[in-house]
Every structure is written in structure tokens, then in C-alpha cells.
């Protein structure tokens, strides 16, 4: 190893260049990772109540080999296993007590007086030194990542690093005006990362251009399903929500309905304004393709300066029937050489950048493992497909071992033609499902998920 | 399983085996099936003209029932090769354990009991209306009504094989043409019964009006051909959205859809059940039966139990005690009712595990093999209640059983209740919010409770509606008043017609 890394401080690894990190040999890296996970688990095991409970129950005292960590990884549900009614009732003492079990910080000292919204609660936690963000999955229930200021440094360093890796432009030295076709600010993980890091990468807020200059309050995200059903029953008043919040909801819905037109107009303006300049374009690929399609149909083509970059995400979720060559069309329309991409989840700091050969490479501070459907560790060799478990040894205030809901194909042999090392995930990633129920299994039991109009409109997926 | 199972198309007395045009499809657990390409057999599946129903229309209900009785006699698993195949396949699919599945199949002949079938037809529609024209009462007897058969498409559910038998019976009793689209999780049962019909009498009008095929739900080429007013009058779709969403775009006025939505069931346990050990034991046994029968794969299975209880530790301790008694009672159920699950449900297990990490909110015990329970320590169900399965239930404390109405709606099918003394005060409120049936949990003897809750008089409503009545066409034969069988005085000049102003 040409660089020296200490196993008791994986946070410091993030400050090394990604090329150096990928160049560490497999044997050496795995030794280092095991040691780092072992130390981090030992440090946190008895200090995080939820981890202690799980580890006690599973009878895990220490990590001797990497696979030992599997039984003590949190299922992704753990970050949202509070009862939804404490959100509905905005019972902040209970919500705080729940979160308190996931962090080493003493949240019982957070002043909760006068809080009326989840948004305010998150701000109060931030003022206390936490950096709690949320994400909402398919059920609409918010999961809260109990991150804190303790993790800020490595989180930032990694994010700069991985942006460099996936775009070829080092944001530490090259600040590019950035376009992002979405909202701005707030505590949703991606939007919080934007405020924390992307705005800086762009060279300041005036160089960071978003479609809307507001964000969706966490309260509306958290209650979207409940609000819809309350509205249907004529019981919205009973929820006791601030009328301003309800008004905001109506605005969001209206915004969602005209989102596509707004996006076209907004991009149209930027395309003119930044002609001949180097820019960075972000957003979901579904949105970027929408803009591309509308532009190409009008015979338009962006004329940004060479060296402009694109970093997208979200796959083509929310866009049906994209043509096979959509990637080429996007590149052609925006005039970028590649579609930068990353794979990861908000629970773990170390998301993996996409290489030129089309694989997501994990950095040494994101330790992947695969589990079969019975929860057993799969061999770390050759090519394996299973449920991804990611252990993040960086955090010192929360436990970073998580079982995802994703089925991932991992290549363990470090033979990627792109030249990067590390285990790599193939691009096709899908939800890990139980054994298939057949082509169209029909049963009489079950209940229908409430249709979530709000989320679909606001995220542009209902179009 | 790597063998390919051949699934023929059944077309009006003929069995069309997969030939060179066969197509393959996948079933549960990796099963592979082969069937003739349904696209090439659309004419064999639909009845092009409703006039062709004349043969069935002219067959008396007694003949139809006699025929069904004959079929029923042959629907015995031990000597019916078609049923043996479908049983073996259903077993492999793994939805139901062997003793339960055997019980379900063994019950099938009983569904074809002659007296019960006649009763069913008579109480829901009226045999006189099916066999002929029935005059209106008194002075209106010149106006006559008849229930006429229709052309029906049934998109059936596959979790319990009785659905296939029920569908064939109901179509026959409405003197209707019946096309069954089999589900991939039970592609053979309807087939097996239809082939038995053919063996009994390939020329019988009921046999001549039954077609069974599999195609993939959402196959537009198929569904646009079939779901047309010129070919189908009535659709019965089990499984709600998943089966309806595909055909929705072809629905037009003129096609009557009965959507048998996915249902969800609950139980209500009154405060009295927690007051003494004997009552708690009786409640627990009742709960074990209603949650555990068919291993909780059916819509009538309880998944959430609302228990009248305070939220203090002592009261919740009693609710937990009820949960433990329920787990113990699962072990006493005869295997024909319920068995431990053959495999774990890992998703649900993760939910249980996550819940048990937070004892402020939940108390969880058990697993997805032998059954389990989660007590909410507050008055609300778990957020993942729609995943409750494998005999895992959520016990929710409520101040009053009536509070549970807010979680019940049209998707709540069956409500178990204990003790009976609580019934009167809740039945009306729960029927208003949408529940469709309330059943007793008392009795303390699993077999008796099970039999009791499954024994209904013929002709009872299904999920809040009467499918048979709905699936016939009610036709009026309005003759001149002179044809009335009851002679009446001409209206007096002073009498004023009744009008609504």
C-alpha cells in the first residue's frame, strides 16, 4: 500500500484520492476493513441502545471475521420503525426518544419546547449538533438517518471525491455552475447534501440553479398518505395541521401538475444563458431524458463549453418506455461525454461511483457483503447475486451496518477493464423480492396501498 | 421443479392439449407451464352470440343441478386423476400445507350437494325465475320477469382452490356461459373440474358453456379481443386492482364488472375476555382458529385483533398474556385447519425483529414459522399491517371496540368477535363502515369453531353483494293488461294516480 491508512480512523481515509484508495490490494484492503469494522463495532456496541439490544439478542460480542457482522446489521426498517401515529400527533418527545436509541448523543437534552412541525424538530436537532436527514421510500413513511456533525468532515470529503470519480472533474479546484431540476433546501437527504456540499461545489448559492427555490416540508412528505385519506373522509381539520402547511400542499400539487412545462421553460432559459460556458447538470435521468426529448423534438441542442459534466441518479424510475438509446440522446442533447452516476443509500456515507465500464466500485470505507434469501453470507469470490449489506465504518455517532432491500450482482475479482479496484456492482439493481409469485398471481387476501397522489405529482412520477 | 406441466385449454366440451403452437409461462416457485397459444383460440373461448345460450336457457334447473351432483361425486381426490394433478401442483406451489390442502380438496364434493345447490339458486335468484317467466303480483300479473343467463368472464383467485369450483357452480346456476381465466398460482383446478364435467357428459349444456384458459393478465392482444360488449356481458374479477387494472381500459358501459377486492379481516375482543383465565383461553382458541385456518392465506383470516384494554403496563401485560395463549393455541389446532409454515417469511421476520428492538412501542413474540404476535403499546395498528401473514397477528389495545371502526372499511371482510355479549353493541356500527360479516369465536373447541364459522345457509351474500343475482339479466315481458291472470276493475274515474310532486 502506497498510502498509510489507520484502521481506527476510517474517516481519514476519505481524504485520500479515490485512485489511491482503489489501488490498495485486495488482501491488504480486506484486512484493513475487517479491523476497522471490528474496532467500530466494539466502540459502538454498548453505546447505541438499539445496537446493544440487537447484539445482545444475537449473542454477538465482537467481530472476528467480516461475516460476523451480518446478524448485527440493521435492517433498513430500523430507521423507520416508529409508529406513524407519533408523526401524525407530532409527539416530539416520543419521536426524539425513539431517535435517541440510534445515536450515541444524548438527545434527552434537546429542547423540544414550542415545536409544531417535523421540519422545526429537524432544525432543533441540527442546532443541537445533529445532521439528521430523512428519506421516504415506497410506503411514504420517513426514515431518519441519525447522522451528526461528527460525520460531517468525512461525509463532505467522500462526496467531493466520488463526484470527482464519476465526472472526471475535481470539484475542490473546479467550481462549475450547476443546474438541478428540483427543489432546494430542507432535510430530505439529497436536498440536504445539496445545501451542504453541492452549493459549495458550484461556487456559491448564486451559481446553483434549481427549478424551484423552495423545498417540500418534511411534514407534507410524512403525512402525504394520511392527508389524502383524511381529505377523502373530510377529516383534514381533525389532523390539527397548520393551515399554512395545507396551503403549501395545494401549491405543491399545483406545481407538480405543471412541473414538466416548468422544467422545459427553466432549462430553455439556462441553455441560452450558459451557452459557451462549462456547466454541471444534475437530476434524475428520467427528468434529464424528458428535457432531452422535448429539446430534440424542437431541433435544439445545448451549446455548453467542452468539459461540461452531468451527474444524474434515480435511473429511469418514473419514465416508461424510454427508447434503447436514451443515454446517447441525453449525451448528444446536452453535449456531455458521459452520464456520471453513483449507487448507494442514504444510511451509508460511501456511495459507489460508476466507472467507464459500467460498474459501481465500492471505496474501502464502504464494506459490501451479500446475503442469500435465508440471510446467510454468500462467498466473497467470483460473481455473486444477492441482497446487499453495506457496512459503513466511518460513523462514530451511529451504527453504520445496514441490510438493504436491493438485489445486487457483485464482482469480487478486481479485474474491471476501467482500471479501478475494489468490489464492483453491476448496473442492474432491483428490489430484493421473495421468490416470484408467478406471472400474475391473484389472491383474495391483502389490502390496497393508498394511492399516493401527492408524492407522485410532486416527484414528477405521475406524469 | 423443472418439469413442464401441460395445461390444456378447455373449450366447450373439448380438451385442447398444447401442440406445436404451445406457449410457456411461469408459476409460483419457479414452476413452468405449457399451454396452447390462447391468441389462436379466441373463438374457442368466447361465445360469439348470446343467442347460442338457448340450449342452457331451455335446460331446467333440476337437470343442471342433477348434472352438477354427478360431477361432484367424481370430484374425489383419491380417484380423480385431474384433481390429483392439480393437487400435486398446488402442493408444490407451497401456498398451503398438505393436510390443509387435502382438507380443502376433500370438501369439494360437498360443494356439489344437490339440496344445497337448489337452495342456493332458489334463495338468490329463484328457480321459477330461472326456469320461466314469473308474473308480478296481483293486478300487475300481465308483467312477467325472467332471470336470463349471460356471457361471463371470471378472472379467478388462486390462493384457495375452492374459487374455481365456486365459479363453475355459480355460472351453471345462472345458466350462463362461463370463461375462466386461470391465475398463474392455480392454473389447474378449474381445468380439472372442467375435464370432469366433460367426462360426465361432454354434450351437456353446462359443459358446452364452459371454457378455461390461461393467459397473462394484461395481455392486451387477448383482453382487447375478449372484453367486448359483443362477447362478454359480465366480468367477475377476484383480486381487485391487480386483476382489474389490466382490463380496465376495455371496460365500457354494457359490461358489468363485479370486483371482488382483496380483503382483510380482523377480530374484536371485549374487555370481559381479559378479566378471567377461562374467558381469555376461550378467546385465544377462537383467535387461533380464525387467524390460523388455511395458514392465514385467506381473506377471512384475522390479521389484526382489537382488544379492549387500557394502555398501562398491567393492562398491556394482560394483552401480551392473550398473545401467548394464542401462540399456545396454534399448537393445538388439528393439521387439517392449520400447520406451522413450511418456510420463513423473511420480510415479515425483519419487521418483527425491527419492532422488537423498540420496546417502548411494541412487544413482539414468536416467528414466521410457528406464528407470532406484536402488541402495539398504543392504540394503533402496526404500519406494516398489510404484511401480516404466517399466523402473525397484531394485537391493538383500544379503549372501546367501537374505536376500531376507524380502521375498518370495505376491505375489511370478516370480523371475529368475543365475547358474544359484545356483539350487539358493535354490529351496526361495523356494518356501516363496510365490514361484511361478523362471526363467533366462542366454543373452545377448534374443530367446532372452524366448522361453525364456515357453515352458512345457501345463498348468503359474498363480500357484501349477491353475485348470482348480479350475474343474470333481469328481463321484463310486459304484456297488455288484458293478459293479466288476475282480472281487475277498470280504474274509477275519481281515483287519482299516485304521483310524487
Domain membership of residue B209 (yes or no) is yes
Length of chain B: 501
* CATH code, domain with B99: 3.40.605.10
Q: Are residues B85 and B183 in the same domain?
A: yes
- Closest by Cα among B101, B107, B257 to B186: B101
Please give the pLDDT value at position A433: 60
Within-domain flag for B314:
yes
- Cβ of A445 and B29 within 8 Å? no
Cα of A81 to nearest chain B Cα, Å: 6
What is the Cα–Cα distance from A341 to A284, expressed in whole angstroms?
Answer: 10
State which residues of chain A have pLDDT below 70.
1, 137-140, 314-318, 433-463
Residues B58 and B162 in one domain: yes
B244, B206: one domain: yes
In order of B94, B289, B303, B306, B403, the CA distances from B273 in angstroms are 36, 16, 19, 12, 17
B235 and B300 co-located in one domain: no
Structural domain contains residue B13: no
Pairing assessment for the beta strands B234-238 and B23-26 based on DSSP bridges: unpaired
Same domain, B55 and B159: yes
Contacts of B465 (CB under 8 A, 6+ apart): B258
B96 plus B76 within the same structural domain: yes
Task: Give DSSP secondary structure letters for A413-455.
Answer: S---TT---S-EEES--EE--SSP--TT---SB--PPPP-HHH
Alpha-carbon distances of B41 from A230, A265, B203, B226, rounded to whole Å:
48, 51, 20, 11
**A442:B218 CB<8 A:** no
Integer angstrom CA distances of residue B258 from B53, B236, B240, B241, B413: 21, 5, 9, 12, 16
Q: State the pTM of this model.
A: 0.82
- The four Cα atoms A437, A442, A447, A448 give a dihedral, to 10 degrees, of 90
Distances from the Cα of B433 to the Cαs of A310, A446, B308, B394, B403, in angstroms? 53, 18, 19, 21, 12
The answer to whether residues B249 and B341 belong to one domain is: no
Q: What is the pLDDT of residue A135?
A: 86
Residues of A in contact with B25 (CB under 8 A): 439
Question: Could you say which residues of chain B have pLDDT below 70?
Answer: 1-2, 28-29, 94, 240-243, 486-501
Cell of A114: 414550542
In total, how many domains does chain B have?
Answer: 2
ipTM confidence score = 0.75
Reading the block at residue A285, the C-alpha cell is 435521468
Cα atoms found within 13 Å of the Cα of residue A211, Cβ hemisphere only: 28
Residue A349 to residues A11, A22, A394, B297: CA-CA distances in angstroms?
A: 10, 17, 8, 41
Comparing alpha-carbon positions, the chain B residue that sits nearest to A100 is B358
Q: Which domain holds residue B401?
A: 264-454
The rounded distance, in Å, linking the Cα atoms of B148 and B401 is: 44
- Asked whether residue B69 is domain-assigned, the answer is yes
Say whether both B254 and B271 belong to one domain: no
Residue of B nearest to A58 (CA): B353
Going from the N-terminus, what domains does chain A have, and what CATH number goes with each?
1-433+452-463 (3.40.50.12780)
- Name the interface residues of A facing B (CB cutoff 8 Å): 50, 53-54, 75, 77-78, 81-85, 94, 97-98, 101, 139, 141, 373-375, 403, 434-449
pLDDT of residue B298: 84
Phi (first) and psi of residue B46, to 5 degrees: -100, 160
Q: What is the least distance, in Å, from the CA of B160 to any CA of chain A?
A: 8
Res B26: pLDDT: 79
- Measured in residues, chain A has a length of 463
Pair (B121, B245) in one structural domain? yes
Q: Which 14-33 residues of chain B touch chain A by CB within 8 A?
A: 25-31
Same structural domain for residues B368 and B408? yes
pLDDT tens string B4-49: 889 999 999 999 999 988 998 877 667 788 999 999 999 999 998 9
Task: Give the pLDDT confidence score for residue A96 in this predicted structure.
Answer: 97
Q: Are B82 and B196 in contact (CB under 8 A)?
A: yes
* Chain B, nearest residue to A84 by Cα: B383
pLDDT single digits (tens) A172-194: 999 999 999 988 999 999 899 99
Residue of B nearest to A101 (CA): B358
For residues B228 and B321, state if they share a domain: no
pLDDT for the residue numbered A437: 40
* Residue B339 domain-assigned (yes or no): yes
Q: B436 and chain A: CB distance < 8 Å anywhere?
A: no
The pLDDT, as a whole number, for residue A455 is 40
Do both B106 and B225 map to the same domain?
A: yes
- Residue B26 domain flag: no
Residue B150 lies in a domain: yes
Contact of B315 with A460, CB cutoff 8 Å: no
Residue of A441, A450, A451 to mutate for B, most B C-beta atoms under 10 A? A441
Contact status, residue A422 vs residue A361, Cβ threshold 8 Å: yes
Interface test with A, best of B357, B394, B462, B467 (most A CBs within 10 A): B357
CATH number at residue B426: 3.40.309.10
- The residue of chain B nearest to residue A373, with distances taken between CA atoms, is B346
DSSP letter (8 states) at residue B429: H
Whether residue B497 lies inside any domain: the answer is: no
pLDDT at position A136? 77
All residues at 6 or more sequence positions from A65 whose CB lies less than 8 Å from its CB, including other chains: A34
Amino acid at each position: 500500500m502506497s498510502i498509510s491508512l489507520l484502521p481506527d480512523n476510517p474517516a481519514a481515509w476519505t481524504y485520500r484520492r479515490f485512485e489511491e484508495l482503489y489501488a490498495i490490494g485486495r488482501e491488504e484492503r480486506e484486512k484493513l476493513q475487517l479491523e476497522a469494522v471490528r474496532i467500530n463495532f466494539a466502540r459502538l456496541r454498548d453505546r447505541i441502545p438499539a445496537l446493544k439490544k440487537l447484539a445482545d439478542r444475537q449473542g454477538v460480542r465482537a467481530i472476528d471475521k467480516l461475516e460476523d457482522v451480518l446478524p448485527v446489521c440493521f435492517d433498513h426498517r430500523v430507521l423507520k420503525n416508529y409508529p406513524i401515529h407519533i408523526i401524525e400527533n407530532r409527539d416530539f418527545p416520543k419521536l426524539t426518544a425513539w431517535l435517541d436509541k440510534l445515536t450515541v448523543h444524548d438527545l434527552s437534552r434537546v429542547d423540544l419546547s414550542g415545536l409544531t412541525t417535523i421540519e422545526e424538530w429537524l432544525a432543533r436537532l441540527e442546532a443541537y449538533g445533529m445532521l439528521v436527514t430523512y428519506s421516504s421510500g415506497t410506503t411514504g413513511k420517513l426514515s431518519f438517518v441519525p447522522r451528526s456533525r461528527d460525520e460531517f468532515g468525512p461525509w463532505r470529503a467522500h462526496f467531493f471525491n466520488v463526484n470527482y470519480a464519476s465526472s472526471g472533474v475535481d470539484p475542490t479546484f473546479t467550481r462549475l455552475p450547476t443546474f438541478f431540476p428540483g427543489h432546494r433546501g430542507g432535510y430530505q437527504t439529497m436536498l440536504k447534501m445539496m445545501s451542504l456540499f453541492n452549493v459549495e461545489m458550484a461556487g456559491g448559492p448564486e451559481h446553483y440553479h434549481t427549478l424551484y427555490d423552495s423545498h417540500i416540508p418534511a411534514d407534507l412528505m410524512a403525512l402525504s398518505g394520511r392527508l389524502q385519506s383524511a381529505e377523502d373522509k373530510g377529516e383534514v381539520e381533525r389532523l390539527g395541521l397548520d393551515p399554512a402547511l395545507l396551503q403549501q400542499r395545494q401549491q405543491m400539487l399545483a406545481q407538480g401538475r405543471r412541473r414538466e412545462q416548468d422544467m422545459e421553460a427553466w432549462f430553455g432559459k439556462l441553455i441560452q444563458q450558459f451557452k459557451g460556458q462549462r456547466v454541471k447538470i444534475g437530476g434524475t435521468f428520467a427528468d434529464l431524458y424528458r428535457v432531452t426529448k422535448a429539446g430534440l423534438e424542437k431541433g435544439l441542442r445545448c451549446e455548453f463549453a467542452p468539459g461540461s459534466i452531468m451527474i444524474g441518479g434515480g435511473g429511469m424510475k418514473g419514465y416508461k418506455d424510454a427508447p434503447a438509446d436514451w443515454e446517447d440522446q441525453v449525451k448528444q442533447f446536452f453535449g456531455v461525454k458521459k452520464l456520471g452516476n453513483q449507487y448507494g443509500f442514504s444510511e451509508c456515507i460511501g456511495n459507489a461511483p460508476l466507472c467507464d465500464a459500467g460498474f459501481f466500485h465500492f471505496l474501502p470505507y464502504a464494506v459490501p457483503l451479500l446475503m442469500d434469501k435465508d440471510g446467510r453470507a454468500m462467498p466473497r469470490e467470483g460473481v455473486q447475486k444477492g441482497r446487499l449489506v453495506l457496512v459503513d465504518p466511518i460513523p462514530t455517532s451511529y451504527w453504520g451496518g445496514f441490510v438493504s432491500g436491493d438485489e445486487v450482482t457483485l464482482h469480487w475479482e478486481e479485474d474491471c477493464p476501467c482500471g479501478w479496484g475494489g468490489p464492483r456492482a453491476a448496473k442492474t439493481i432491483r428490489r430484493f423480492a421473495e421468490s416470484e409469485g408467478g406471472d400474475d398471481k391473484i389472491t383474495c387476501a391483502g389490502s390496497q396501498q393508498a394511492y399516493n397522489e401527492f408524492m407522485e405529482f410532486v416527484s414528477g412520477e405521475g406524469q | 421443479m423443472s418439469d413442464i406441466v401441460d395445461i390444456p385449454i378447455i373449450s366447450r366440451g373439448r380438451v385442447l392439449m398444447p401442440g406445436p403452437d404451445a406457449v410457456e409461462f411461469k408459476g409460483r416457485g419457479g414452476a413452468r407451464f405449457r399451454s396452447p397459444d390462447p391468441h389462436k383460440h379466441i373463438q374457442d373461448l368466447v361465445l360469439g352470440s348470446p343467442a347460442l345460450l338457448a340450449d342452457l336457457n331451455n335446460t331446467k334447473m333440476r337437470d343442471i343441478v342433477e348434472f352438477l351432483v354427478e360431477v361432484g361425486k367424481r370430484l374425489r381426490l383419491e380417484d380423480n386423476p385431474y384433481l390429483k394433478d392439480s393437487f400435486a401442483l398446488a402442493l408444490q406451489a407451497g401456498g398451503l400445507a398438505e393436510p390443509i390442502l387435502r382438507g380443502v380438496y376433500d370438501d369439494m364434493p360437498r360443494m356439489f350437494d344437490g339440496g344445497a345447490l337448489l337452495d342456493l339458486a332458489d334463495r338468490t335468484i329463484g328457480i321459477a325465475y330461472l326456469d320461466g317467466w314469473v308474473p308480478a303480483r296481483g293486478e300487475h300479473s300481465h308483467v312477467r320477469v325472467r332471470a336470463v343467463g349471460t356471457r361471463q368472464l371470471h378472472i379467478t383467485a388462486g390462493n384457495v382452490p375452492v374459487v374455481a369450483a365456486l365459479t363453475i357452480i355459480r355460472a351453471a346456476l345462472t345458466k350462463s356461459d362461463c370463461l375462466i381465466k386461470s391465475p398463474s398460482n392455480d392454473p389447474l383446478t378449474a381445468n380439472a373440474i372442467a375435464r370432469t364435467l366433460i367426462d360426465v357428459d361432454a354434450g351437456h349444456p353446462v359443459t358446452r358453456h364452459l371454457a378455461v384458459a390461461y393467459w397473462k393478465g394484461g395481455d392486451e392482444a387477448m383482453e382487447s379481443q375478449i372484453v367486448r360488449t359483443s362477447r362478454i356481458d359480465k366480468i367477475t374479477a377476484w383480486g381487485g386492482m391487480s386483476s382489474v387494472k389490466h382490463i380496465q381500459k376495455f371496460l365500457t358501459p354494457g359490461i358489468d364488472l363485479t370486483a371482488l377486492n382483496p380483503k382483510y379481516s380482523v377480530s374484536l375482543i371485549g374487555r370481559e375476555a381479559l378479566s378471567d383465565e377461562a374467558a381469555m383461553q376461550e378467546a385465544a382458541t377462537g383467535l387461533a382458529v380464525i387467524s390460523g385456518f388455511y395458514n392465514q392465506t385467506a381473506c377471512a383470516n384475522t390479521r389484526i385483533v382489537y382488544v379492549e384494554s387500557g394502555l398501562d403496563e398491567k393492562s398491556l401485560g394482560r394483552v401480551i398474556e392473550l398473545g401467548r395463549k394464542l401462540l399456545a393455541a396454534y399448537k393445538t389446532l388439528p393439521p387439517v385447519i392449520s400447520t406451522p409454515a413450511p418456510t420463513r417469511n423473511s420480510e415479515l421476520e425483519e419487521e418483527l425483529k425491527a419492532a422488537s428492538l423498540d420496546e417502548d412501542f411494541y412487544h413482539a413474540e414468536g416467528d414466521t414459522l410457528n406464528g407470532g404476535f406484536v402488541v402495539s403499546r398504543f392504540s394503533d395498528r402496526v404500519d406494516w399491517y398489510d404484511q401480516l401473514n404466517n399466523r402473525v397477528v397484531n394485537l391493538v389495545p383500544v379503549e372501546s371496540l367501537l374505536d376500531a371502526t376507524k380502521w375498518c372499511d370495505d376491505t375489511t371482510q370478516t370480523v371475529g368477535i368475543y365475547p358474544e355479549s359484545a356483539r350487539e353493541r358493535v354490529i351496526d356500527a361495523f356494518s356501516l363502515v363496510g365490514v361484511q360479516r361478523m362471526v363467533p369465536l366462542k366454543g373452545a373447541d377448534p374443530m367446532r369453531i372452524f366448522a361453525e364459522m364456515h357453515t352458512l345457509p345457501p345463498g348468503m351474500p359474498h363480500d357484501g353483494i349477491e353475485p348470482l343475482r348480479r350475474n343474470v339479466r333481469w328481463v321484463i315481458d310486459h304484456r297488455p293488461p288484458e293478459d293479466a291472470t288476475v282480472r281487475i276493475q277498470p280504474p274509477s274515474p275519481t281515483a287519482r294516480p299516485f304521483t310524487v310532486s
